[in-house]
Amino acid sequence: MSKSLQAIRGMNDILPEQTPVWRYFEGTVSRLLDNYGYKQIRMPIVEFTELFKRSIGEVTDIVEKEMYTFDDRNGDSLTLRPEGTAACVRAVLEHGITGGGQVQKLWYIGPMFRHERPQKGRYRQFHQIGLEVFNLDGPDIDAELIIMTWRLWGELGIRDAVKLELNSLGTSESRGRYREALVEYLSAHHDKLDEDSQRRLKSNPLRVLDTKNADTQAVLVDAPKMADYLDEESRAHFEGLKSRLDAVGIPYVLNPKLVRGLDYYSKTVFEWVTDKLGAQGTVCAGGRYDGLVEQMGGKPTPGVGFAMGIERLVLMLETLEQIPQELARQVDVYLCAFGEEAELAGLALAERVRDQLPNLRLQVNAGAGSFKSQFKKADKSGALYALILGDDEMAQQVVGFKPLRGQGEQQSIAWDALAAHLATCVVQG
C-alpha cells in the first residue's frame, strides 16, 4: 500500500473485533454517570488555540510541544483539543449555565489529540471520558468523583489492580508560599538538577517534583513539603476528603510529589494508577481547579473533574481478562432460507419476530446460497440457533429450529409461535 493511504502514526482504527469491548466499557461508564446524576455535554473537537494556551498554561508539555495546531482558511489559529476541560469551561461560560452559582455535573466522551511519542497506552489520537463539576466547593463532591470511579473499577473487575494516589496542592495562596520555598531550596541546588528541571525551576517550579531524573529526585528528598504549607482551609478540605474515603473504605496513598501536568489545579489532585500496563500506568486523573473559570474570564466558580483514558482501560480489561464472555457472541439467531418464496416469507417472519423481541439479535442470511453454505455462515456467525425455511417448512407454515451449539434436536415451530419460543430460549441482554 502506498504511504499516503495509511493512517497517521499514533492514530488507530478501532476494528470490529475490538468495538464490543469499547462499547461495553463506554456503556458501563455512562450508565454509572447517569445513576450518579451527571449529564452529558458534547463540545467541538477543534477550538481556538488561545483557549488551550490560556487554560492549560503556556509552560506545560501539552502547550509547549504536544498540540496539533494549524491555521484555517481565515487565518485563525485552531487546535485539535488535547483535553476536554478547557472546552467544557468555555462552553458553560458561553451559554451562561454556571451563572448565579448553578451547579452543573457534566461529562463528555471523545477523541483527544496530542503529538507524543506513540507506544503502548500512549497515542496521538486517544479517547477520554471526562467529567467536570461546577459550583460545588466542598470535599464531598471531590469524594463523590473518587467513589464513583471506585465503583466503576469494581464493576469492571479491575479494582484490585488500581491504586489511588492523592495529594493537595492547596489554595493559590498556600501554593504561592510553597512555590517560593521550593524555588529557594532548588536554586541552592541548581547544579545538581537536570536540564529540564533547571528550565522548569524558572517557568513552572512545581513540575520539578514530577521529574523522572534520579539525580534531581535525590535533591528532592530534603525539599520542603507542600503538606507543611497548606493553609487551614486547604487542610480542612483535604481532611474532609480523606475522612469520606475512609468512611466508604477506599484505600489511598498520599503522594506529595503528585502535581499533575496542567497549571490549573488547586487543592485536591488524584490519580488512579496501575502496574499492569508498563510505563503508561495512569488510567484516570483529575483534581480541583477553583481558579480556572475566573482565569478564563468568568466569575469565580469552583470546579473539580477528572478524565480517564479509554485505550488504557480497555487494555486493562484485556490484560486482566475481564472481558465478559457474552461479548464474544454478537448473534443470537441466524435465519436460513432456501428458494425465492422461502426468502420472502423469511423476511416477513423476521420482521414479525423483531416487532415482538426488539432486543433479539436476529441475522437473516443474505446472498442466498446452498444448504451447506448457509449453514456454514450460520455457524460462523456464532448464533446459538439456526432457523430454517425450505420447501417442507413452507408447505407446513413452520420453521425449523436447530440448536447450533449442541443443545438438543431440531424441532418445527409454527410461524405464529416462533417469537414466544425464542423468548424462552434466548437470554436477552
Tell me how far, at minimum, the Cβ of 353 lies from ligand ATP, in Å: 42
Residue 107 identity (one-letter amino acid): W
Asked if 346 and 394 count as a contact pair (C-beta separation under 8 A), the reply is no
Tell me how far, at minimum, the Cβ of 98 lies from ligand ATP, in Å: 22
Whether the CA torsion 136, 141, 146, 147 is positive or negative: it is negative
| Residue 73 or 117 having the CB closest to ligand ATP | 117
Tell me how far, at minimum, the Cβ of 164 lies from ligand ATP, in Å: 13
Would you call 261 exposed, middle or buried from its count of C-beta atoms within 10 A (0-12, 13-18, 19+)?
A: middle
| Residue 127 or 175 having the CB closest to ligand ATP | 127
**CA atoms of 421 and 229, how far apart (whole Å):** 70
CA-wise closest residue to 290 among 130, 145, 171: 171
Asked if 109 and 127 count as a contact pair (C-beta separation under 8 A), the reply is yes
Nearest residue to ligand ATP on Cβ basis:
309
Cell of 224: 520542603
Residue 3: HSE in the Cβ half-sphere, 13 Å Cα cutoff: 1
CA-wise closest residue to 31 among 143, 152, 130: 152
| Residue 85 or 171 having the CB closest to ligand ATP | 85
Cell of 408: 438438543
| Residue 285 or 293 having the CB closest to ligand ATP | 285
If DSSP codes are grouped into helix, strand and coil, which group holds residue 88? helix
| Residue 112 or 383 having the CB closest to ligand ATP | 112
Tell me how far, at minimum, the Cβ of 273 lies from ligand ATP, in Å: 9
| Residue 158 or 399 having the CB closest to ligand ATP | 158
Tell me how far, at minimum, the Cβ of 5 lies from ligand ATP, in Å: 24
Tell me how far, at minimum, the Cβ of 262 lies from ligand ATP, in Å: 7
Tell me how far, at minimum, the Cβ of 56 lies from ligand ATP, in Å: 9
| Residue 284 or 422 having the CB closest to ligand ATP | 284
**CA atoms of 362 and 353, how far apart (whole Å):** 9
| Residue 283 or 387 having the CB closest to ligand ATP | 283
**Which residues make up the interface to ligand ATP (CB under 6 A)?**
83, 114, 116, 121-123, 126, 128, 261, 280, 282-285, 307-309, 311-312
CA-wise closest residue to 145 among 155, 132, 134: 132
| Residue 250 or 307 having the CB closest to ligand ATP | 307
Going by the DSSP 8-state scheme, the letter that residue 303 receives in this structure is E
**CA atoms of 86 and 55, how far apart (whole Å):** 6
Tell me how far, at minimum, the Cβ of 414 lies from ligand ATP, in Å: 54
The partner residues of 401 in beta bridges, in order of sequence, read 387, 411
**CA atoms of 161 and 152, how far apart (whole Å):** 13
Tell me how far, at minimum, the Cβ of 209 lies from ligand ATP, in Å: 13
